[in-house]
Amino acid sequence: MLCSSSSLALLLPPASSPSLLSFRRLSRLRSSPLSAAGLSRVTSRTLAFSARTESISTMANDEENVGNVKKLLARVFELSLQATVPDETDVEPIVTASTVGRFGDYQCNNAMGLFSKLKGKGGGQFRGPPAVGQAIMKNLPQTEMIESCSVAGPGFVNVVLSNKWMAKSILKMLLDGIDTWAPKLSIKRAVVDFSSPNIAKEMHVGHLRSTIIGDTIARMLEFSHVDVLRRNHVGDWGTQFGMLIEHLFEKFPNIEAVNETAIGDLQAFYKASKQRFDDDSEFKERAQKAVVRLQGGEKRYRDAWAQICAISRREFDSVYKRLKVELEEKGESFYNPFIPSVIEGLTNQGLVEESEGARVIFLEGFNIPLIVVKSDGGYNYASTDLTALWYRLNEEKAEWIIYVTDVGQQQHFEMVFKAAKIAGWLPTEANKFPRTSHVGFGLVLGEDGKRFRTRSTEVVRLVDLLDEAKSRSKAVLEEREKDKDWTEEEIDQTAEAVGYGAVKYADLKNNRLTNYTFNFDQMLSDKGNTAVYLLYAHARICSIIRKSGKDVEELKQTGVLSLEHQDERVLGLHLLRFSEIVEEACTNLLPNILCEYLYNLSENFSKFYSNCQVIGSAEETSRLLLCEATAMVMRKCFFLLGITPVYKI
């Protein structure tokens, strides 16, 4: 595949880029465009790779890849591979970031695989993988990105980026904005199904995890130019409504007069109706009939249902508002009218069978079938999820549908996805779109190592939890006597940013599949890998810039950035990895990758700041620009993690 000539500007010095075609010919003719002096030969060494996880394929266009060093290098190696093995048309360049400094900044790892491929075809001109590596290196087109290259071990091509190019790229980002470093994914629209609590039941810490993780995934996708439908798939349909409605009628014979305050605590109301349901068989029967009447659309039942939903909704919204999370509700009930035709379609395809009075789909590899119509004729969680998936694919034209729930629901989703594949709604190949993903997460534990609960063993109310995080942060600010020179509003906003940020970050920094222990002292500590530490680090950078008395906007226009000192270079290289890290976190649906990046960024900055004098040094302008770039990248990370940055401490 060829790229447009304008996109080459990034790869090539202007003088050598008249057109790609002539450039390719040129690169084949030249023996080695890279200076021989820059090529050290390393022979037998084992290399450590950052072989983490696969990325989804993105558009191979260099203009699109601004800021994504890995992708830009992949383009350069693609050209070299085309020149090295012109007959092999399907060789994808494998470029990874090096985790060990002495092996350069990035590596191309194609040689070994390519050698065995050629050998399998009966030889080829190379003596072994190292020779393939040498040829790949030799055929690299001239590019201002690369300072030097070397071949190590079985043909790994190590790349050292040019300081000048790195500095130039960072300055360009400072001028054009960090959004130019956004990854470009190959999909246009995604659904992120997250939070999704159940009406009249408590919104527990599991829903808090889903809300926090789901919001970050949505933010990362949105930043990557994907149109995201943020779906709150609330549990607003089902048999529990029968008893809730009957209990409501019993308590308030004059339903019109009922309002939120009359019902009071919806959870207590739920408990009371459940008690009636369990204790009184006559009530139970009425409740079961109420479900049918509700589902039949009888007005009185519909109105009562809507009222109960509205009360829950207000409660949920208060949590979303505090967390600054946007969601659009399309609850289970929304899909109800579509269920019969979806099931009919599946039945016509021969997928649905009768089993013990129910209608089910048998799926290979599962010892239970997926029940799509219960034996009483009612629909269930699976009927709704199959239909919602159908709707998202066909009506909403989503290419990637992501479900964020606890790992306990994994099997349910695996079964739904498998059924959709058999029905031909989804491709069977794992890497093709449209695609579905279940983003599972572990439990939230209390300090006793058991499921997180309050002292009274009741479920923790989310609002209380957020209140406590905020008031604890506020207490720290007051202890530090910030109230002497900050306004009441500033204290309040900072306490909120730090408190809520701490709760979010403590959740996001762990691999989501592991359980995590909820501990206020730990998450609110200003040491270690916490939001507090990171927010303070950002504020400190802002204060360095303020103290310099310089106008950074002006410096961006007129100043020059250079990365001469070792610690400047390490920091600069880390900044340049932002785009590929966001892409990795996003495509693998792992926010902890971004957290780890942010923490390391802050560590690299500390090292730079302790070894390189900023204010009053000869390099002041360049170093202030590096400070500003670090602050910009940190702020974007905070934004993607749903954390509000603070500017002073």
Q: Which residues bind ligand ARG (CB under 6 A)?
A: 193, 196-198, 233, 235, 385, 388, 403, 405
Nearer to ligand ARG, 403 or 516 (CB): 403
Angular region, 134: left φ>0, alpha ψ -120 to 50, beta rest: alpha
Task: Using DSSP, state whether 149 is helix, strand or coil.
Answer: strand
- How far apart are CB 246 and ligand ARG at their closest, in Å? 22
Nearer to ligand ARG, 203 or 627 (CB): 203
The Cα 632–Cα 505 span in angstroms is: 19
- How far apart are CB 67 and ligand ARG at their closest, in Å? 34
Q: Cβ distance 598 to 630 under 8 Å?
A: no
- How far apart are CB 408 and ligand ARG at their closest, in Å? 8
Nearer to ligand ARG, 193 or 580 (CB): 193
Give the chain's radius of gyration (CA, Å): 29
Q: Cβ distance 227 to 400 under 8 Å?
A: no
- How far apart are CB 401 and ligand ARG at their closest, in Å? 9
Nearer to ligand ARG, 90 or 328 (CB): 328
Task: Using DSSP, state whether 427 is helix, strand or coil.
Answer: coil
- How far apart are CB 413 and ligand ARG at their closest, in Å? 8
Strand 227-232 and strand 328-329: pairing? Answer: parallel
Nearer to ligand ARG, 240 or 405 (CB): 405
- How far apart are CB 486 and ligand ARG at their closest, in Å? 40
Among candidate residues 578, 638, 606, 617, the one with its CA nearest the CA of residue 169? 578
Under DSSP, the state recorded for 198 is B
Among candidate residues 476, 454, 474, 475, the one with its CA nearest the CA of residue 464? 454
Nearer to ligand ARG, 119 or 314 (CB): 314
Evaluate the CA torsion angle 243, 244, 250, 255 in order and state its sign. Answer: negative
- How far apart are CB 16 and ligand ARG at their closest, in Å? 54
Nearer to ligand ARG, 398 or 643 (CB): 398
Nearer to ligand ARG, 413 or 609 (CB): 413
Enumerate residues 6+ apart whose C-beta is below 8 A from 130. Answer: 43, 111, 151, 153, 154, 155
CA distances from 85 to 77, 92, 136, 210, 292 (A): 12, 12, 9, 48, 69
Nearer to ligand ARG, 407 or 539 (CB): 407
- How far apart are CB 384 and ligand ARG at their closest, in Å? 7
- How far apart are CB 625 and ligand ARG at their closest, in Å? 46
The Cα 238–Cα 378 span in angstroms is: 9
Q: How many CB atoms lie within 10 A of CB 518?
A: 18
Among candidate residues 322, 386, 341, the one with its CA nearest the CA of residue 360? 386
CB-nearest residue to ligand ARG: 196
Q: Cβ distance 529 to 509 under 8 Å?
A: yes
